[in-house]
Structure 1
Amino acid sequence: MSQSRLASCIPLPIDNKLLISVVEKAKDWALMHGVGMRDKKHFSKDSIQIAPFVLLPSPFPRTEFTKAIELQPVLNELMHKVAHNDEFLEKTLQNALQVDDFTAKLYDVWLKVREEGITQSLSLGLFRSDYLMQQPDSNRIKQVEFNTVAASFGAITSNLPTMYRYVMRQLGHGELIKNMPENRALSGLCSGIIEAYDLFAVPSAVVIFVVEEVSYNICDQRFHEFEISEKRPDIMIYRKTLGEIYEETELNDKKQLILDGQPVAVVYYRSGYEPDQYPSTKEWDARLRVERSSAIKCPSIHYQLAGTKKVQQALAAPGVLETFMSEGAVTSRVRDIFTGLYSLDFDEGGERAVEMALADAEKFVLKPQREGGGNNLYGADVREALLRMRHSRERAAYILMERILPPLVSGYVVRPGAAVPPPLSDLVSELGIFGVIIGNKDKIYCNRQVGHMLRTKLADANEGGVAAGLGALDSPYLLDL
């Protein structure tokens, strides 16, 4: 099926001389306003380079953008309820646990904490729900995934509307700025950490950001620290790896997590979502220590488990949503954003899904229980993997998802070190909506939508993760279709 197109916000191509000038201006703007990352090939703590970005804001239907924003608090609450339904998580994950060692280890931490009694009932969720427009379905949004851990780029993308206003004025199209929505994701996400800190209610407490050994996405992380420090100078933030948490923290008799003699109020994970981030038993011991403590976790272990692909697939099954939401228009709106999601368990449904994918592999994506980009399989790789795993329990660690076909748009991707001017390319965009929720099993203290991001990739690229080097940062240009 050929993909439909959305018109760019301005006529293309741009005159070559003007294009070169505006690209250089935009790159300088990006560098001077922190739209940057560290260079993976030539890493230095003393320098950053531009993060890949699209020169023009990408078109997105206003009605679907509004729908995604309105649904975010509903999805926040849904995932909160899922995370607190022990029976549902156990049943949904039981087959994957037998073959996915990483998910099994997370699950084991959860079991240990539950068995000894949960010290901190409050959880903080800084979530992001990701969507593609489905072209055969009138460009309506369909959910790609729901991120419950280390949902990134809220900080950098908060700067992009200002950059695009500058770019549009340089191109002589300042009158179009009114169609570009403001984005306050950074302040919204940070307000969640601050509210959790205040609910902890120990004035001398500190906050830990759990980070990787080497942080390439440093701007996105540091802006959170700078924002919190500006709003609340009394809150001290420490960046620690899981290994450093193992070496430098302890639990006191009140189950407080103690760092340098001070209790920890909030632990915010920007790492800890991939197996490679737990290279030894020390990292797992550190994760267990944090979960056993009174610190408010972002995410708690059960929030992280609720964000697995198996849960996403289970929620899309007939009748499951209704166990968490009352039947009605809102439930129907949530079901409408789901695309086809299928279990690969060893049962009748799993066998049907395997046959379906082998018959037409191009229509599907094979997804493991992972976050962070670069893990999914497409097209011929789906067929090859399913043939290999067909009679192996390994296949239960994956779900099968119908491939979403978004509309194309022409545009320019600006990358560090690439030739200027960039070529005019066919692109597709993925919308992410950020949400904040704080609560326990019995009460939700806050629940809101706080901002958005747009991530755009070349139309022929399967994956779109910016941190993984596959996508580019973007911002929506709202269309009234």
Structure 2
Amino acid sequence: MSTATIMSVCNNDCSDCCDGTSDKSENCRKITTTVLEPCVPLPLSDEVLDDILPKAKDYALLHGAGMRYKASYDQDTLQMAPFFLLPSAFPRREFERVVKLQPLINVLMHKIAHNHEFLENCLKKTVKVDDFTGRLWKIYTTVREEGMAQELSLGLVRSDVMLTKCHAGCCKLCETPPYVSCHQVEVNTIASGFGHMGPISGSINRYVLGELRRPDLLPHLPENNALSGLCSGMVLAWEAYKCPKSVILFVIEDVTYNICDQRFHEFEIRRQRPELHVIRRNLTQISQTGQLTDDKRLIIDGDEVAVVYFRAGYEPGHYHSEAEWEARLTIERSRAIKSPSIQCHLAGTKKVQQEIARPGILKKFLPDSEAELVSNLFTGLYTLDLGAEGDAAIRMATEDPERFVLKPQREGGGNNFYGDEIRTVLEKMKDSSEREAYILMDRIRPPVQHNYLVRPHESVKLVEVVSELGIFGVVLGTDKEITINTYSGHMLRTKPSSVNEGGVAAGLGALDSVFLFD
């Protein structure tokens, strides 16, 4: 089989309107599950699996697809990151569409970050009820009132999308083959990880297809230069700082489990610029050794910092005390180019994403034609602010919670609510301003397919899965001018269809790559 195909399977008894395998009524369009066929016939024989699996595991470990143990952390020990044996089918039309849209997403997020009035209108209620977002907002207003020491901001952005079959009339793209379209899950503006893990996943799958003696399928796996693209963005920002002896600072967690993804960024920066040094510090360490000079240069243990790359700082657990908050404020006050700057971090909050989905809002930031293209990515997003509009959203969610996802203002995965959890949470806070810290989103129902899940210390399993595609972009500029704006690669995370959250680091999802079909 040289390409994947797509079909829909009706979940209801609809003998009156269709044959159970195709859409012949408006009713069926709402109740079908879309099924993608794998790139090779499954299941594979036991003999083939016994031959392929040890080699695939070795390939993954020896090429940097590793993570540290969570259960028994040891700095000197790595285990294989979970991955899927085969690449997952994805329609070429939709892949190419979101790749072309990424520069528009970059511009949109950059412009939002530099529009104080819009940010304030979006977040003025949220910052009063969500302490974490409120603390970020306080840092932002402090440095804004003092005067930003650095006009340049570096965005290493990742737009996450899932395929879905829309309701009838919702999306013209779903009315033509392959009868699904990409809808945006979220935009990540801080710690947008897997710049290394994305490309290495494709390398694993390429190796496996070669071992299966199917080199004819390799052209269906698109080129992925996420690691070099993201690191090039950091190098260009370092050059723009114009201090050859300066360094790039990675702000890291206290304990880094996803170490390979971070280290390979360092290795790639060194490959591109051998004279450029990277240092790693957590917020506590920065609070102890970081200082500002009179002209607001950031000095860490004697090194002047040109670029700050946040791989931590996006959740409350990274701030143990006031010392860590002071460290973040020190960074934001400095002349260092931040990825992201505090305003770009705020632009990535769920509340902002809900607000830009309102009719007409995109046209404040993008030309009409571009705004329309981006708006086609959005699924339903609803405010939960106190008032008639928020009340209507709560009624809608409590009556049919399976249709929605309830999202707080958090990054990093594992924070959302699904199904009956939504009803329980909303019932508790429906009369409280606490609800203004959340947004409601239509639940995306992606196509299912089958693949082999490979996890350390477990037998390989053929499971039903769904996938989430992340598209990377790099944007560098000021509030007046954007100097760099590029698509910079992709990553694919796949999880069993029975699982709500799909974080690889959390052990629920696994690394995967894209197999394009027409």
- What TM-score do you get using the length of structure 1 for normalisation? 0.98
Moved more, 274-283 or 166-175: 166-175
- 1:71-86 mapped onto 2 (5 Å cutoff): 71-86=101-116
Aligned to 1:285: 326
Aligned to 1:88: 118
Aligned to 2:475: 437
Aligned to 2:385: 345
- 1:260-409 mapped onto 2 (5 Å cutoff): 260-328=301-369, 330-409=370-449
Aligned length: 477
The answer as to whether partners of 2:125 and 2:436 remain within 8 angstroms in 1 is yes
Matched letter for residue 456 of structure 2:
P
The SS at the match of 1:98 is: helix
Residue among 112, 121, 124 paired with 2:154: 124
- 1:130-141 mapped onto 2 (5 Å cutoff): 130-136=160-166, 137=174, 138-141=179-182
Matched letter for residue 75 of structure 2:
K
The SS at the match of 1:428 is: strand
Matched, 1:241 2:279: no
Structure-2 separation of matches of 1:473 and 1:139:
23
Aligned to 1:459: 497
Post-superposition offset of 1:389: 0.9
The SS at the match of 1:5 is: strand
Matched, 1:153 2:194: yes
Post-superposition offset of 1:24: 1.4
Matched letter for residue 396 of structure 2:
M
Moved more, 152-161 or 401-410: 152-161
Runs of 4+ in 1 over 6 A off after TM superposition: none
Alignment deviations for residues 128-176 of structure 1 (CA, whole Å, 9 cap, x no partner): 0000001234210000000000000111221222221210011122211
The answer as to whether partners of 2:163 and 2:180 remain within 8 angstroms in 1 is yes
Residue among 248, 251, 255 paired with 1:210: 251
The answer as to whether partners of 1:372 and 1:468 remain within 8 angstroms in 2 is no
Matched letter for residue 386 of structure 2:
F
Structure-1 separation of matches of 2:180 and 2:457:
34
Structure-2 separation of matches of 1:116 and 1:69:
38
Alignment deviations for residues 36-62 of structure 1 (CA, whole Å, 9 cap, x no partner): 100101211111111111100000000
Structure-2 separation of matches of 1:242 and 1:58:
38
Alignment deviations for residues 288-342 of structure 1 (CA, whole Å, 9 cap, x no partner): 00000000001000000000000110000111111111212x2111010000000
The answer as to whether partners of 1:309 and 1:367 remain within 8 angstroms in 2 is yes
Aligned to 2:10: none
Matched letter for residue 461 of structure 1:
V
Post-superposition offset of 1:2: 4.2
Moved more, 156-165 or 122-131: 156-165
Moved more, 456-465 or 157-166: 157-166
Matched letter for residue 463 of structure 1:
E
Matched letter for residue 317 of structure 1:
R
Moved more, 463-472 or 61-70: 463-472
Structure-1 separation of matches of 2:160 and 2:505:
16
- What TM-score do you get using the length of structure 2 for normalisation? 0.91
Aligned to 1:170: 211
Residue among 144, 153, 161 paired with 1:114: 144
Post-superposition offset of 1:453: 0.2
Alignment deviations for residues 384-416 of structure 1 (CA, whole Å, 9 cap, x no partner): 111111111111100000000000001111111
- How much identity, in percent, do the aligned residues show? 52
Matched letter for residue 440 of structure 1:
T
Q: Could you list the runs of 5+ residues in structure 2 that have no partner in the other structure?
A: 1-30, 167-173
Matched, 1:6 2:47: no
Post-superposition offset of 1:262: 2.7
Residue among 41, 44, 52 paired with 2:82: 52
Structure-2 separation of matches of 1:261 and 1:254:
15
Matched letter for residue 286 of structure 1:
A
Structure-1 separation of matches of 2:436 and 2:456:
40
Matched, 1:193 2:234: yes
The answer as to whether partners of 1:6 and 1:59 remain within 8 angstroms in 2 is yes
